[in-house]
Structure 1
């Protein structure tokens, strides 16, 4: 794949600057690689160096300060119609699904006279097809003192898979999958599946199903398994039955900051193995593959519920939500999960998934909710269904994930809050959040305590083990006004999340669905594992080759308005 020459326009500056001490090099610095150096890198990786042109370039008449050769209004109109879906961004080595991290560059919803700039997109990306490509990219970034970013699918609400003036390692096309019929170590005997770094959730589910097996993965089919998902802990439709995705890991293949390809298991490089099982992605090394436990397939029940907010039933609606919350401990203890949304439109169960259950059993968990609805005279819809395999269940989920129209923040809600008469206070907080303009509350109800013998077995946030609801707050993105969007981002930190934090003092949040501006992110996202994780980070990456916002060790760095990273 040849370099795209038009992408170089922005990377050449008439003014040559000296890179400030303790900072990464950016375009315009004398230390920034020359075009010959980039061409040599491209040759070294077999022509797989991609120079970034934002995918919204057809919407703009100028590209990187020059008349655009790719402007096409018809293509732009088609792109706008599909912008919010993951599949729009998956084929790109640079496009952030969380658009705020592009710094409003090359916005497809602004007029064609608005220039397309590279903004905070990566400058180049290596379309990696082997561990050798990882090693080459790491060496180039180190030799030239430039920022390095790791990206698979781009499912990322904290800006970890994009970065200004960076070289990206794009792992998306490492799609190898293999079955290990009999995996043996001191803690596990059974089937396992080895997944390349680019494998998506649906690809892993389909492969496992072809052998009558299942693996623990996420709720969205296009999320990558091996990267930030599993390295952040990872919950999903099977979590209440088997635990977190990080609990299932048997071994990793990793390229470290010094370019060494190593295997990390409970016995070999065990400290790194522990850190990668929930201690966050993009900071200890680049995972080439992950091997995970595989379990016999099972049938499942699934159900949906809708209770609309008519404007005249609001008090009654939130009363029903309180009853629903009280059903969750028994539900998740039975191995089920429940995803629900509360917004100005009302309450939606979207859905509940119960491995090994029949619909009648799943229905019974919601009898108190039905009784409450009937007593209050509220209209609602409810349906349940049976599915013979887990893949059938997953494919029957009707909700579609729009990934580019919400800013996110999150908080763990411990089951003790519900079990100690805190339901009313939680309902009040949910009501406050969900009635703000453009905001919504999403709950993922789980019980992952049984996934490990003790919370310290893996590095995932220990607060996960006491969590009943991994709560997510969303606020809207205004593509026509970045200032409004940034205000909505700050409202999560300053207004909405504090309502949940007040109910959960000293608590935590799921780092993959957290607030990018989370105060004290170290304790909130990592709990009391942070200091040990930081020691491991220093051991394997003493020069901070790997950096990502809110990742372990990231507090040592600060990004300026020009996108430059500098040590603080």
Structure 2
């Protein structure tokens, strides 16, 4: 060692005694596992159980039934329910996504605090911090990237925190002299969106911006930014957040809003779930409800590659001229078999007006019968908006979408893409367990995500500049080139270009990547298998097929990525192996988020894959790097 290096070394060593203990010890910090001698004793766990009112539970792993007794009743019951998101929601040891090839597979925590209130959460947070445990938070358990589960951990399970309270004139705490009262709804952290829509829309006659998938957890969606079918009109879910109650790493129960802890409030609006604290409840602005919501479903098949190129170009032009506004959301799918699937929703249009919008495009298709065909008569219909999430209203207005049509007419169900090979499709599936509430529903189009094992998944925000005349042909050509490798979906409701100014302004005041503000859509390419789980004979995910699928997904998205100079991706729907995820997920907002993380969680108690601050930890979250 030379003299300069030696003096530098002893000088650094001399500073160690006066540094804060946390900083000097952090380089060797490792969280405890059950195999460690310092793992909490039975007496310690009993004290935690007493502190949370007896709501500490050992976590079972239902999938183990496939190994211990594969022919038994429990295994059969599990297999019957592994595609039921409500069943999965009720199991602390299961997540809706079962894993990702080459990345992760769902594993249970050791114990779970089945929290009933913020006090229970605070006790769990204090216990986890004081005993150096890996903490995990789960509400809906939808995370594609496995952020709501981890082996050898303590789970904070918010499933039972589902109280809902409506407000006619809500004012956030501390904002009494600066914010006008407004209609709002307060939702417990364990609430899922079907419960929120039933309370706010079906019963309350108003709208709350949430997720399109009915079984997604409210808290996780808000913290990730959050898009629903009508985000093109109302903006992101995070943009409607007025106040949150959150337990931070020091065990304090805090209120976060625009006037109290405003930095934490901003971070909770899209900065990523499970990162800054554990949310116990949220209050969201509610909105006026339009008279109608509607659906548009049809498929156009091209007879040749050249015809398909022309079809894509025509649709891109048609979208720009007629659909690029806040009346239209959801999806268009460009598929390798030269077909274009339209599965879109409308806001505020009756059936007659919606049909008039689409008629020019349908006339263009019909004008070339040798080049284009439709598999069925297009479905373009509307129903009273208050009945959008009400089974009885669907039975009254759209009975053909609720029950199979006995005449076999080729109707396609709402947002159905997973099972479109059938001659008809109902819109909903329902939890058929004996004690299930009648309105525990999920869209058929979301059914493929229940119990799936992901092979590949990527997303990309597409800037609205692509829709200008000079860019339309390049976009159309890239969509065609993408479709040669895999199907690509454009989710128009997940880009806010074309939204009203107030919706864009609210989203700008969130932590979500600013790329969303000028994007007309989020492109998604994905492939998966399910239900599947490693180690279960006959039901294992195919690693070889998964790797090939992941390669196709990457090559598909690369055609679009080449058009976007600074690509951005939506944190909740993105690649587990996302390159440069800090910029991809949050863009210019990342440095500010990192500062807030250091303020409220300086020791990294809360950790999720590719979450703010996670670059300082090992992949499993147990060792400080």
TM-score with structure 1 setting the length = 0.85
Which of 553, 575, 581 aligns to 1:515? It is 575
Question: Equivalent residue for 1:251?
Answer: 243
Deviation, structure 1 residue 262: 1.0
Question: Equivalent residue for 1:223?
Answer: 216
Question: Is 2:557 aligned against 1:565?
Answer: no
Question: Equivalent residue for 1:28?
Answer: 35
CA distance in 2, matches of 1:126, 1:421: 56
Question: Is 2:210 aligned against 1:203?
Answer: no
Where structure 1 has 5 or more consecutive residues not aligned to the other structure, the ranges are 1-18, 62-69, 108-118
Alignment of 1:125-524 (within 5 A): 125-184=112-171, 186-209=178-201, 210-225=203-218, 227-307=219-299, 309=301, 312-329=303-320, 330-344=322-336, 346-350=339-343, 352-377=344-369, 378-380=372-374, 381-392=377-388, 397=414, 398=427, 399-400=443-444, 401=446, 402-403=448-449, 404-405=451-452, 406=454, 407-436=456-485, 439-446=486-493, 448=496, 449=499, 450=501, 451-453=503-505, 456-477=508-529, 479=532, 480-484=540-544, 487=547, 490-491=550-551, 494-524=554-584
Change (3 A) 1:191 1:360: same
Root-mean-square deviation (CA, aligned residues, Å) is 2.7
Name the SS for the 1:168 alignment partner: strand
Deviation, structure 1 residue 509: 1.2
Change (3 A) 1:20 1:526: closer
Deviation, structure 1 residue 481: 4.0
| Cα shift readout 1:513-547 (whole Å, capped 9, x = no counterpart) | 11111100011100110100110111000011100
Moved more, 394-403 or 405-414: 394-403
Question: Equivalent residue for 1:555?
Answer: 615
Question: Equivalent residue for 1:123?
Answer: 110
Question: Equivalent residue for 1:90?
Answer: 89
Where structure 2 has 5 or more consecutive residues not aligned to the other structure, the ranges are 1-25, 395-413, 415-426, 428-442, 533-539
Deviation, structure 1 residue 317: 3.5
Name the SS for the 1:207 alignment partner: helix
Deviation, structure 1 residue 429: 3.8
Which structure has the larger Rg over C-alpha atoms? Answer: 2
Please tell me whether the aligned partners of residues 201 and 217 of structure 1 are also in contact (alpha carbons under 8 angstroms).
Answer: yes
Please tell me whether the aligned partners of residues 247 and 277 of structure 1 are also in contact (alpha carbons under 8 angstroms).
Answer: yes
CA distance in 2, matches of 1:244, 1:280: 14
Please tell me whether the aligned partners of residues 328 and 468 of structure 1 are also in contact (alpha carbons under 8 angstroms).
Answer: no
Name the SS for the 1:373 alignment partner: helix
Name the SS for the 1:487 alignment partner: helix
Deviation, structure 1 residue 181: 0.8
TM-score with structure 2 setting the length = 0.78
Please tell me whether the aligned partners of residues 475 and 488 of structure 1 are also in contact (alpha carbons under 8 angstroms).
Answer: no
CA distance in 1, matches of 2:601, 2:349: 46
CA distance in 2, matches of 1:172, 1:558: 28
Change (3 A) 1:48 1:283: same
Name the SS for the 2:373 alignment partner: coil
Change (3 A) 1:508 1:187: farther
Change (3 A) 1:182 1:52: same
Please tell me whether the aligned partners of residues 300 and 393 of structure 1 are also in contact (alpha carbons under 8 angstroms).
Answer: no
Please tell me whether the aligned partners of residues 257 and 545 of structure 1 are also in contact (alpha carbons under 8 angstroms).
Answer: yes
CA distance in 2, matches of 1:291, 1:56: 36
Count of matched residue pairs = 522
Change (3 A) 1:379 1:292: same
Deviation, structure 1 residue 368: 4.0
Deviation, structure 1 residue 159: 1.3
| Cα shift readout 1:382-426 (whole Å, capped 9, x = no counterpart) | 111121124426765424112133442211111111225333433
Change (3 A) 1:383 1:238: same
